[in-house]
Structure formats: C-alpha cells, structure tokens
Amino acid sequence: MRVALSTASFVLLAAAATYTSASPLKKRQAFQPAAFDTWVWQDVSGTQCADGSSTGIAYNAHADYNTKDLLIWFDSGGACRDANTCFYNPTAWNLNGYTNYTFQNYARPALESQILMTTRDPSRNNPWANSHMLFVPYCTGDIHGGNNVITYPNAPRPIYHKGYTNFQSIVSLASSSVPWIENIYVAGSSAGCYGAVINYVAVRQAWPSATVHLVADSCEGVPGFLDAIPSWNLYQPSGNSCPDCVQGQFNSIVPALAQANPRSRFAAISYTVDDFLPYYMGTSLSDFAALIKQYFINITNTAGNMAKTFSVSGQAHGVFIRDTPGSSTDSALAAWLASMKNLGSNFTSQSV
C-alpha cells in the first residue's frame, strides 16, 4: 500500500505514528518517498565531510512498495592520509564537501547507466532492478571507516575522517524509515568496497531480523593494512559480531563474516591484476595479483559455501566501474550475481 503525502521525505515519521510492531501495513507508512524509481537526494544532519561540512544520502525507492530487498551502495573515490594526499595533490574525491549538486552531476549518471547493481535498465538483467536502493556518498578520505579529526603536519586545516560515524547516522535513519526490509545487500566498488566490508556489522545491527549479504568489488589489503593508517582510527569488526576477524588483517573480514553469518552470501569481485590498489598499499602489481589470487582461494574455501568470487581476466581496477554495459563480462556478472541472490542456487566461484 502506498500513501501519497505532499510532505514526502525520507525522514522517520514512526515517532509520530501510532502503530505497533504487529501491524506491518501501518509500519510501511513510516517511509514516504518523494518519488519512486528515481534518485532523490536527502540531507542527513550530523554527518561530516572531510572539510567539516554536512552531507546526506540519496535513495531510489521502488514503486512496488512490498519490495523487501534493499541495496546499500557505498560510493567510491580513493583515500588520503597526509597533507599532500588530502590537500596539495589530493588522491581522494569530494574532500571539499558532498551535496545534492555533487550527487546529481557526478554520482547519478554512473548509478543510472554504468554500475550494474544500481541500474534499473531491463536490458542489463540486474538482479536488484526491483529493489529499494540507498546510496552512501564518500567525502571523508577514509574508505568509509574512520572516526577521527586530525590536522596533518603542514596542512592548512583539519580533516574530518568521519566515514564510520557518518554511516552510523545514515543507517539509523534508514533502518527506522524502512524497518520491514528482509534482505539487505551491502555493496561497493574500490573505496566503497572497503566501506561495504567494514560497515557490514553496522547494517546487521541496524536491521537485526534481516539477512545481510555482501558484494565487494575490488578491495583487498596487504598484511596489517587495517592498522597501517592510525590517523583514520578505522573501525574493525571484532568480538561477538565477528569472532574470526583478525586485528589489522583486512582479508580476514569476509571469510570471518561468512562464518559468523551462515545464512548470508558473500561475493568478492576483482580483475586478476588490480592496477590501482598496489600504489596505495606500497606493493607491486604482481605481488598484489598473487595476494588477490590467494585471497579468492581463501574465500572460495570458506566453510558453508556461501562466500564465492568472480574474477575478471585483465589489468584494471573496479569491475563495476570499468565494466562495459552490454558486454559479455556484464552479462556473465549479472548471471553470477543472480545465482548469488537466489539462495536456492549452487553458488560457485567463477573466472571470465
């Protein structure tokens, strides 16, 4: 049932509503999208970009209000870790703020016509074409995982590495707005891939009765990577939410989350040779390619058979970002993701 209100927004109306948890129909009235099957920007108070300015989210609500699938897509865009990479020769995007304008001009075209998982174009066979979608912008330089304010030596002003705390605000708003969701797919490419992996636990906790799956495109870590940039104060899953996660070791997280969440599926995607991450990680293309290969073997062998990989032969970074719509890789990836999404299917690792 859809309720049309002129004061449509993504805000929580639940506090004012008089429903009980036994009334799912009324619960749905808590979410009043401004429009359906199109992207809508919404400012979110309490969020901070690298320059301290506030940002928001974009959502794309599907017209079928009964949809119980939600895709959460984390934006990509590099990283920064000192005055040079954050200010003088920036290696991260949107450090000077992220607004509706940024979203409309830079993110939206890619969401609509490039990235397979976020397109509603029927010719692409996107398994999430009929899902609700939430876009998490990236403007903190900290792979969506930081919680620190720091003035780097020789920097003109502080940097707000607040990706983790921003997502806490976002996920709190989103889970109270669409509490009925049953299947959540946390996903991203590059910096957004790290963001999806690191923030998986926050999504699990925000929707305790939903099943949360992961699609991680092009993120791996050299040994100790999670501890390598203390200025980010990166969140690391641990304890009850990820008993097998190993401190500092990014590559331990996906297999460990698969162990801790046996009903959920985990998909890792990469080119065989990533030509971007090795520069951030201070290693060679060939050593990093060997690391990806072993990491993908580890994922494939995770007990439970719910974590698998999709490997694209070639040298590039970000399969969803670089993939050509309509190509054979695009259709193979769509078919593989459909198998991942269908919990009754035989989910296996694939190389193309």
Ligand X SMILES: *[C@@H]1O[C@H](CO)[C@@H](O)[C@H](O)[C@H]1NC(C)=O
Q: Which residues bind ligand X (CB under 6 A)?
A: 41, 100, 104, 251, 291, 294-295, 298, 346, 348
CA end-to-end span of the chain, whole Å?
Answer: 42
What minimum distance in Å lies between the beta carbon of 161 and ligand X?
26
CA-to-CA distance for 295 and 276, rounded, in angstroms? 17
Residue 45 backbone phi and psi in degrees, to 5: -70, 150
What minimum distance in Å lies between the beta carbon of 214 and ligand X?
16
Measured from the CB atom, the residue of 184 and 299 that comes closer to ligand X is 299
What minimum distance in Å lies between the beta carbon of 240 and ligand X?
20
Of the candidates 92, 88, 273, the one whose C-alpha atom is nearest the C-alpha of residue 191 is 92
What minimum distance in Å lies between the beta carbon of 59 and ligand X?
11
CA-to-CA distance for 285 and 295, rounded, in angstroms? 15
Measured from the CB atom, the residue of 315 and 348 that comes closer to ligand X is 348
Measured from the CB atom, the residue of 92 and 134 that comes closer to ligand X is 134
Measured from the CB atom, the residue of 92 and 170 that comes closer to ligand X is 170
Of the candidates 86, 225, 94, the one whose C-alpha atom is nearest the C-alpha of residue 151 is 86
What minimum distance in Å lies between the beta carbon of 291 and ligand X?
5
* Contact yes or no for 132/61 (Cβ under 8 A): yes
CA-to-CA distance for 234 and 273, rounded, in angstroms? 26
What minimum distance in Å lies between the beta carbon of 298 and ligand X?
4
CA-to-CA distance for 251 and 263, rounded, in angstroms? 20
What minimum distance in Å lies between the beta carbon of 330 and ligand X?
21
Strand partners, 307: 266
What minimum distance in Å lies between the beta carbon of 157 and ligand X?
27
Measured from the CB atom, the residue of 122 and 282 that comes closer to ligand X is 282
CA-to-CA distance for 250 and 254, rounded, in angstroms? 8
Measured from the CB atom, the residue of 92 and 174 that comes closer to ligand X is 174
Measured from the CB atom, the residue of 126 and 339 that comes closer to ligand X is 339
Measured from the CB atom, the residue of 294 and 342 that comes closer to ligand X is 294
Measured from the CB atom, the residue of 85 and 339 that comes closer to ligand X is 339
* Contact yes or no for 77/318 (Cβ under 8 A): no
Coil, strand or helix at 198: helix
What minimum distance in Å lies between the beta carbon of 142 and ligand X?
22
Measured from the CB atom, the residue of 179 and 237 that comes closer to ligand X is 237
Q: Which residues contact 338 (CB under 8 A, 6 or more apart)?
A: 125, 127, 345
Q: Which residues contact 25 (CB under 8 A, 6 or more apart)?
A: 1
The DSSP code for 126 is -
CA-to-CA distance for 337 and 352, rounded, in angstroms? 14
The DSSP code for 96 is T
DSSP secondary structure of 11-44 = S--TTT----TT-HHHHHTT-B-SSBSS-EEEE-
